[in-house]
Each structure stands twice: as structure tokens, then as C-alpha cells.
Structure 1
Amino acid sequence: MDTIADKESRLSWVLAGLAGLVGAAAFTQTGGYFVTFMTGNAERGALGFLQGRPWMATAALLLTLSFVSGVVVASLCRRHFWVNHPHGATVLTTGALAIATVVDLFMAGWDAPQLNFVPIIFVAFGIGALNTSFCKNGEVSIPLSYVTGTLVKMGQGIERHISGGPITAWLGYFLLYAAFFVGAVAGGIISLIITNPQMLLVATVISAATTIYTYSSADRSGVLG
């Protein structure tokens, strides 16, 4: 159980919660755009054109492209600029959310009922960058918003536990999933109270606080380095 609750695990729960919160904010404030669910965007991209809904397909593909761009940019920065500063991924996420907030304020104003699509492109970029927070040997070791993969690993761990393995075979994946779920619930609750750029601003502030936490818990201790 000690390995499940180590510093890296606790940090992964915080960042997964952030991913869930931001994903929920984007989904609820746009009428259904995904910034964490790239499987859904792939299906929308494929089916949108077949169903005569080219805008839906185009939007899904643009969000996917932005997400992948966030991964690429964060990975390049990690390799060349912040080798010893693993909180850099959350800095990129916070920056992307801040840009999204400013763009939406400019496009729609403070009290608009929903987010525009353009700011969501920046949000998807930020989530892509966030997923590079945990890397080992140049590969992502803990994908924060890839819930499908987390559940598959959890299911395999449950089988190992049933077959005589330790509870740690699946409990860590369950806690990661639970953190994402709690973050999504929190984002949904907040979205019932405030709307549009107000929600983006709250997400930016929370992301900035998470960046500070990542710096203090990861950079100083070398957890992610």
C-alpha cells in the first residue's frame, strides 16, 4: 500500500482531478465538446461527415490535432528546456487555459451563456500537455486523461488479485480513475454556479495552484525527474 500512496501517486491523483475538472468544464460549457476523450472525437470525426454534419466532424478533428500538438510541444520542451523541471507541463496547461479565458472574454464577454469553440482548442492543447507530466524513458508512464486505458489496466489488475496477486495490482488504477471522476464532478458542480469565461478563469486559477503544488512536490524532491 505504501507504493500506492507515494508522492508520485498523490501527485497523479491531483493532476488527474485537474484533467477531469477541465474536461467537465469544457463539456458542460460548450454543449458537448470533448477535450479529454479523444476516442469520442475520433468517432465524431469519422461519423460527422457520413451523417451530413461536417462542422461536428471538423471540430472533433481540430480538437484532436490541438491535443496532439499539446503533447508534442510539452514533450519537446521537456527534452530541451525543462529537463529538470517536471512542473513545466502544468505551466503549459495553465498558460493555455489563461489564453482560452482571454480569447473567450474577447469573443463573447463575461456573461455569455456558453463558451465559443476557439477557446476550447486552447483547452485541448493544455490537456494534451498535462498528459506528459509523468514520463519514464521518454514515454508517458501515467496517462492522466486516458480513462479507458486506466480501466483496462484496473481490470487486468483485478484478475491478478483474484488469481492470488496483491490488491496493489489494481487499487492504484482505481484511485487514479476515482481522482479523475471526482475532478469531473467538481467541474460539473462549479459549472452549475458560473458560466463561460468565468468557468475558464476558475479552471485557470486551479491549474495555477496545481502548478505550484507540482513544483513543491515534484521538482524539489525529483519525483518526476
Structure 2
Amino acid sequence: MLPSSRKPYTNAALAHRERWRGRVGLMLVASLSVLAGMTDAIGFMASGDFVSFMSGNTTRLAVAISEGDLGLTGRLLLLVATFIAGNALGVVVSRVSQRHALPLLLCIAALLCGGALWPFAEMLPALLAAIVAMGMLNAAVEEVNGLPVGLTYVTGALSRFGRGLGRWMMGERRSGWRVQLIPWTGMFVGAVLGALLEHQLGLRALLISGALAAFLGVVTLKIPRRWHLGYMPR
């Protein structure tokens, strides 16, 4: 009788733990999306270029090519390539640090603060530092309880939400699609904050982004190690 009486308790405990792992993961996603939105808005307002929204830079690249603007074409190609390199570097830092989020987020913080303190009028190096940081950010969380999430881009999240809404309208009751609004909301809120900060501080507003990245890195130390391993890319 003892094993059978303990089994429901064990299952309930496991289900409770899974729910909390999902909630903590989504709170982390929301916070990191705020960081991404804030940084993207600051970079865009200060330079006219997107820091994390590579879909926008890709469209601008196509337009620049069609207009024969070689200078802008080269600049946008550099931005896109830098973002790709940042993603690759994020995975490398994650693996070298044995998939601990703190070293990754501290590297991101250092890049953002370095960009904010860039002392020269030509801001391209500062912009590239911020782009590398946003590429690296994607290595902090890749999925939560099996649901894919994006931190520096929200087109996929909105698409998954829309498809889930369509299935719900057709009577299907799959779970998980509503949470796709979390990274979009986080990025939107962050972009509003970033725009307000850039109005006051200019590119130096990236110092706030850097401080937020470092703070979130410290916060991740409170997340159970096994949970965070499930969030980060393998």
C-alpha cells in the first residue's frame, strides 16, 4: 500500500516543479527581452541602424543593393555578419563556461558598457559591440519546457502565437501558444524604456543596458542549475 500511496504525491510534486520551472524560465525570457528591446531602441535611435532586428537590416540591405548604394550595402552586410558572429561567440562562451549564464551575461554587459563609453565621434565600433552583445544574448535562453523562444527577435513569436490562435479558433486546445506573447511584450516594453533613455543620455544609455545585463546575470545564480541547463542551447 505504501508505494501506491506515495506515487500520487511524487507525480504532483513533479508537476509542481515543472510548472515553476516554466514560470521562472518565462520570467527570465521576459527580462532578457526587455534588455534586447532596450538595446535595440537605443542603438537605432543613436545610429539609425538596428542592433538586434536583423530582419529590418536585411530588408534595408536589399533596398541598398537595388539602389546601388555600395557604402550602405557594405555597412549593412557588416552589421548582419557581426550579429551572426555574436551568436556563434555566445555559444562558445556558454560552452567554455560550462553553460553558466553569469559569464555570458557579464561579457554582454562589458560589451554594452564599452559601446556606451566609446569616446570617438564615429560610433560604428560602439554599434558593432552592441550587435555582438545582442547576438550573444540568444545563447542565454533557447527554450522553456520544450517551447522555443527568441530573445532578440519577435517575428517568430508573433507567428507562433498567430498560428496557435488560429488552431484555438478551430477548436484545438493545444497549450503553449499564448506564452509567445511574453518575449514580444518584453521587447516592446524594453524598446519604450530604451527610447526614453536615449532621449536623455544618447548612446551612453547603453550603460543602463549593460547594468541590466550584469544584474540579470547575478539573478540567474538563484535559478536551479538543472533548470537553467534546460533553458540554454546544448
TM-score tier, shorter chain, comes to: 0.7 to 0.9
For 2:219, the equivalent position in structure 1 comes to 213
| Larger Rg computed on CA atoms | 2
**Deviation per residue, 1:158-204 (Å, 9 max, x gap):** 122223344843220012211111111111111122213x2122221
For 1:222, the equivalent position in structure 2 comes to 226
Which structure 1 residue ranges, 5 or more long, are not aligned? 109-114
Aligned length: 209
Correspondence 1:131 to 2:138: yes
Structure 1 residue ranges (4+ consecutive) displaced by more than 6 angstroms after TM superposition: none
2:32 maps to amino acid: L
**Aligned residues of 1:135 and 1:224 also touching (Cα < 8 A):** no
Cα 1:76–1:142 shift into 2, 3 Å:
same
**Aligned residues of 2:101 and 2:217 also touching (Cα < 8 A):** no
Correspondence 1:159 to 2:166: yes
Q: 2 CA distance for matches of 1:222 and 1:3?
A: 13
Q: How does 1:69-218 map to 2 (within 5 A)?
A: 69-79=85-95, 81-102=96-117, 104=118, 106-108=119-121, 116-135=123-142, 141-166=148-173, 168-196=175-203, 198-217=204-223
User: Normalising by structure 1, what TM-score?
Assistant: 0.83
Superposition CA RMSD, Å: 2.4
For 2:74, the equivalent position in structure 1 comes to 58
**Aligned residues of 1:154 and 1:171 also touching (Cα < 8 A):** yes
User: Normalising by structure 2, what TM-score?
Assistant: 0.80
Q: 2 CA distance for matches of 1:84 and 1:73?
A: 13
**Aligned residues of 1:16 and 1:144 also touching (Cα < 8 A):** yes
| Aligned sequence identity (%) | 24
**Aligned residues of 2:112 and 2:206 also touching (Cα < 8 A):** yes
For 2:32, the equivalent position in structure 1 comes to 15
Cα 1:135–1:177 shift into 2, 3 Å:
closer
In proportion to residue count, which structure has more helix? 2
